[in-house]
């Protein structure tokens, strides 16, 4: 994929949408309008957007995790759909049975996660396997964290995908903390991608705050998958800039660490780069920011006007009836 | 009609669906070249090829998870657990992912997880378990426990055609012990209907799986010895459960024994008794008795195993008690 200025503008736009969606959810949480867990993706924009952008949204399939709001936008998801699912309003694909990014939208080739992180990785592998049996290559991209990487199902799924040469790409968002547990207490290897060799698959560790680098690395992974060379693990190193969810004050994170990562802000740094390279002017950036924000506010207003689903929905669809 | 063993009938049902529907495939451990630990898939690799009879690594979570993913993408996987005991390693996939998908997404997960369960064959605590009721309580998962070859085939065909995840509990003790006439070709047994295996008027035994055979043996013995007329009802599927089918028999006899090979506490028998108590209390002439395994793992030595598992004698004893009340 040749990186054109048009692509750069789209990368930025998707990252800004992810950030504004995040800001919106944080506001709604503080206002008591978002219930349950609000899981900020702040700091994760480049990893989500750069990775998903490497896929063909018409052919490939996305199994995102809860912090991959940017990936949903790359796959053409609209703000209203995401907001309705997050706030469990009428019209939610999940009918209020579940929330956050757990929905599925087969038409947009998005299949959300369950809270048991790691559980969807074998499922993503199986989705690709079905097409492999039909002689078609469908790349599945899925995500896990520095904490979720320690779940047993991740190991089984990666070994399975490597043995069957499945076109699976696992993005490891290494954002330093699994809830409150630092990496030093989650794993003892230097890089999580060191494990790739053990599975007989390709793997790399990169700066997860650099959207163009994420896109380039993932594009190579997609090409490898399309050539039938099997799965790839891409570890994107970044920082979770908020708590596990908004109830968590993340006082366990040293302030100095947050300051350090604030300087690597994936969105602000990319804006500087784009302005410096004269791809967009400062005025154009301001206009884009304002438009993204006003679109977000309009979507929130529309969503908040919707009622919650009817209580009777709770008694329906435990099974698919023929 | 051909006379088949229980095992052959299950294989016949799977083969029928694989011949009919190219989206059906099998995945499991040692099912291809080796033909399965119990040789249930013998000949399948030659007939259907390695794309449809997939030998997987020892990774039950990956086997079940990949099956879910394939099902989401239009396939109808039949995943084998080499022993149903090992479904614990794929439990999260069935319960957390497969069992919640219809409710959350409204998207079908047409998938069968099948394998040999049950004791009485001198295995050990890890090759003998009857864990079907775990999945009854999971919600969103159908649970099938056939007792006869014709039902095993017909229920397997229904399981593969179902739009939902189905756990299909075969009893390894019945694999080669039980033979019967099985319709050739298309033979569909719908879920959620009991089968009255033996008509009777004095006492009803409600059972499934291997316990149906214990009940039949007891019924024949008691008719011979004391002239008791025992009805045996095989519920066949735990989810969906044919409550009315059970109540019909209860209303007829008024005296009930519920039997299963799984351990007593928290077993499906408790659910059956609760439904009877709720819906047919006034028809009862005696308290309902349960016959089930002792609440322990299934032990290894024959003396121990025989002692903790139910058998025809224990069922007969319960029937006598209920009849004499």
Q: Averaged over A283-297, what is the pLDDT? A: 97
**pLDDT over 80 at A322, yes or no:** no
- Which of B161, B182, B203 lies at the terminal end of a domain, its last residue? B182
B chain contacts of residue A95, beta-carbon cutoff 8 Å:
106
| Structure confidence by residue, pLDDT tens digits, A128-168 | 999 999 999 999 999 999 999 999 999 999 999 999 999 99
Write the CATH number for B252: 3.40.50.920
Residues in chain A: 322
Same domain (yes/no): B35, B163: yes
Please indicate, yes or no, if residue A137 is contained in any of the structural domains.
yes
**Mean pLDDT, chain A, as a whole number?**
97
Same domain (yes/no): B90, B158: yes
Q: How many distinct helices (H) and strands (E) make up chain B?
A: 12, 14
B106 Cα to chain A: minimum distance (Å): 7
Same domain (yes/no): B151, B233: no
| Structure confidence by residue, pLDDT tens digits, A201-258 | 999 999 999 999 999 999 999 999 999 999 999 999 999 999 999 999 999 999 999 9
Report ipTM (2 d.p.): 0.97
Q: Which of B51, B59, B106 sits opposite A159 (nearest CB)?
A: B59
The stretches of chain A forming alpha helices (DSSP H) are 5-30, 45-53, 69-74, 79-86, 120-133, 152-163, 195-199, 211-226, 255-262, 266-276, 282-305
Which of A233, A149, A219 lies closest to A183, judged by CA? Answer: A149
Q: With a cut of 50, which residues of chain B have pLDDT below it?
A: none
- Which of B182, B208, B224 lies at the terminal end of a domain, its last residue? B182
| Segments forming the whole domain that contains residue B131 | 2-182
Please indicate, yes or no, if residue B8 is contained in any of the structural domains.
yes
Q: Which of A123, A159, A317 sits opposite B69 (nearest CB)?
A: A123
- CB of B220 within 8 Å of any CB in chain A? no
| Segments forming the whole domain that contains residue A20 | 5-307
Write the CATH number for A58: 3.40.50.970
Give Cβ neighbours of residue B262 (< 8 Å, ≥ 6 apart).
Answer: B130, B131, B132, B133, B268, B292, B293
Same domain (yes/no): B152, B58: yes
Residues in chain B: 325
Number of C-beta neighbours around residue A251 at 10 A: 9
Same domain (yes/no): B249, B154: no
CB contact under 8 A, B70 and A130: yes
SS3 call for B238? strand
Same domain (yes/no): B171, B59: yes
Please indicate, yes or no, if residue B190 is contained in any of the structural domains.
no
Please indicate, yes or no, if residue B313 is contained in any of the structural domains.
yes
The total domain count for chain B is 2
Same domain (yes/no): B37, B172: yes
Mutate to test the interface with A, among B62, B77, B101, B111 (most CBs of A within 10 A): B62
Token pair for A291: 């438009």
Write the CATH number for B34: 3.40.50.970
The total domain count for chain A is 1
The C-alpha atoms of residue B227 and residue B157 are separated, in whole angstroms, by: 39
CB contact under 8 A, A122 and B66: yes
Mutate to test the interface with B, among A130, A160, A315 (most CBs of B within 10 A): A130
pLDDT top residue among B52 and A35: B52
Same domain (yes/no): B167, B295: no
Q: Averaged over A34-59, what is the pLDDT? A: 96
The pLDDT value given to residue A1: 74
CB contact under 8 A, A152 and B104: no
Q: What is the DSSP string of A278-313?
A: TSS-HHHHHHHHHHHHHHHHHHHHHHHHSPPPPGGG
CB B156 within 8 A of CB B148: no
Token pair for B235: 């519920």
The pLDDT value given to residue B303: 97
Q: How confident is the model at residue A280 (pLDDT cuts 50, 70, 90)?
A: very high
CA distances (Å), origin B206, targets A97, B245, B260: 35, 10, 9
Q: How confident is the model at residue A298 (pLDDT cuts 50, 70, 90)?
A: very high
| Structure confidence by residue, pLDDT tens digits, A161-194 | 999 999 999 999 999 999 999 999 999 999 999 9
Same domain (yes/no): B137, B69: yes
CB contact under 8 A, B57 and A159: yes
Catalytic residue list contains B171: no
CB B163 within 8 A of CB B110: yes
Same domain (yes/no): B200, B178: no
């Amino acid at each position: 994929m040749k990186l054109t200025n048009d692509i750069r503008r789209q990368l930025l736009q998707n990252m800004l949408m992810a950030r504004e969606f995040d800001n919106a959810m944080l506001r709604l949480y503080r206002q008591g309008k978002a219930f349950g867990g609000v899981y900020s993706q702040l700091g994760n924009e480049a990893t989500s957007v750069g990775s998903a952008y490497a896929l063909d949204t018409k052919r490939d399939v996305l199994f995102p995790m809860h912090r991959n709001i940017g990936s949903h936008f790359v796959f053409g998801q609209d703000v209203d759909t995401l907001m309705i699912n997050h706030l469990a309003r009428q019209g939610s694909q999940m009918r209020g049975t579940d929330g956050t990014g757990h929905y599925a939208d087969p038409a947009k080739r998005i299949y959300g996660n369950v809270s048991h992180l790691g559980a969807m990785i074998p499922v993503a592998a199986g989705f690709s396997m079905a097409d492999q049996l039909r002689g078609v290559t469908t790349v599945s991209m899925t995500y896990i964290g520095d904490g979720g990487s320690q779940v047993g199902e991740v190991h089984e799924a990666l070994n399975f995908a490597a043995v069957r040469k499945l076109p699976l790409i696992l993005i490891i968002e290494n954002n330093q903390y699994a809830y409150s547990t630092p990496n030093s207490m989650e794993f003892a290897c230097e890089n999580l991608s060191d494990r790739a060799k053990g599975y007989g698959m390709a793997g790399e560790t990169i700066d997860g705050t650099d959207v163009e680098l994420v896109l380039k690395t993932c594009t190579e992974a997609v090409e490898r998958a399309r050539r039938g060379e099997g799965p790839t693990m891409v570890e994107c190193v970044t920082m979770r800039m908020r708590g596990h969810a908004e109830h968590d004050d993340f006082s366990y994170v040293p302030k100095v660490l947050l300051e350090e990562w604030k300087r690597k802000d994936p969105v602000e740094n990319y804006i500087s780069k784009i302005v410096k390279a004269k791809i967009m002017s400062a005025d154009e950036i301001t206009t884009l920011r304002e438009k993204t924000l006003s679109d977000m506010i309009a979507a929130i207003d529309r969503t908040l006007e919707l009622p919650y689903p009817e209580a009777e929905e709770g008694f329906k669809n435990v099974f698919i009836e023929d | 009609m051909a006379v088949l063993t229980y095992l052959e009938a299950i294989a016949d049902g799977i083969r029928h669906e694989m011949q009919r529907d190219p989206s059906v495939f099998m995945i499991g451990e040692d099912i291809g070249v080796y033909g399965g630990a119990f040789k249930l898939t013998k000949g399948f690799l030659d007939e259907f090829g390695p794309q449809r009879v997939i030998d997987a690594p020892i990774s039950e979570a990956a086997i079940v998870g990949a099956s879910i993913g394939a099902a989401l993408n239009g396939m109808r996987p039949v995943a084998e657990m080499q022993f149903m005991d090992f479904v614990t390693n794929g439990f999260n996939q069935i319960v957390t992912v497969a069992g919640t998908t219809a409710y959350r997404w409204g998207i079908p997960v047409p998938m069968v997880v099948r394998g040999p369960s049950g004791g009485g064959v001198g295995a050990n605590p890890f090759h003998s378990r009857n864990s079907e009721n775990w999945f009854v309580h999971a919600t969103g998962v159908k649970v099938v426990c056939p007792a006869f070859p014709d039902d095993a085939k017909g229920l397997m065909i229904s399981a593969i055609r179902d739009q939902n995840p189905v756990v299909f509990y075969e009893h390894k003790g019945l694999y080669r012990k039980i033979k019967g006439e099985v319709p050739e070709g298309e033979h569909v047994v719908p879920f959620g209907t009991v089968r009255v295996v033996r008509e009777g008027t004095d006492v009803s035994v409600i059972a499934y799986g291997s316990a149906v055979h214990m009940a039949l043996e007891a019924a024949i013995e008691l008719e011979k010895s004391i002239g008791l007329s025992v009805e045996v009802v095989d519920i066949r599927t735990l989810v969906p459960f044919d409550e009315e089918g059970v109540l019909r028999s209860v209303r007829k006899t008024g005296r009930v024994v519920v039997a299963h090979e799984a351990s007593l506490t928290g077993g499906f028998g408790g659910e059956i008794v609760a439904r009877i108590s709720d819906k047919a209390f006034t028809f009862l002439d005696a308290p309902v008795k349960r016959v089930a395994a002792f609440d322990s793992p299934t032990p290894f030595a024959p003396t121990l195993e025989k002692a903790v598992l139910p058998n025809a004698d224990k069922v007969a004893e319960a029937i006598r008690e209920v009849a004499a009340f």
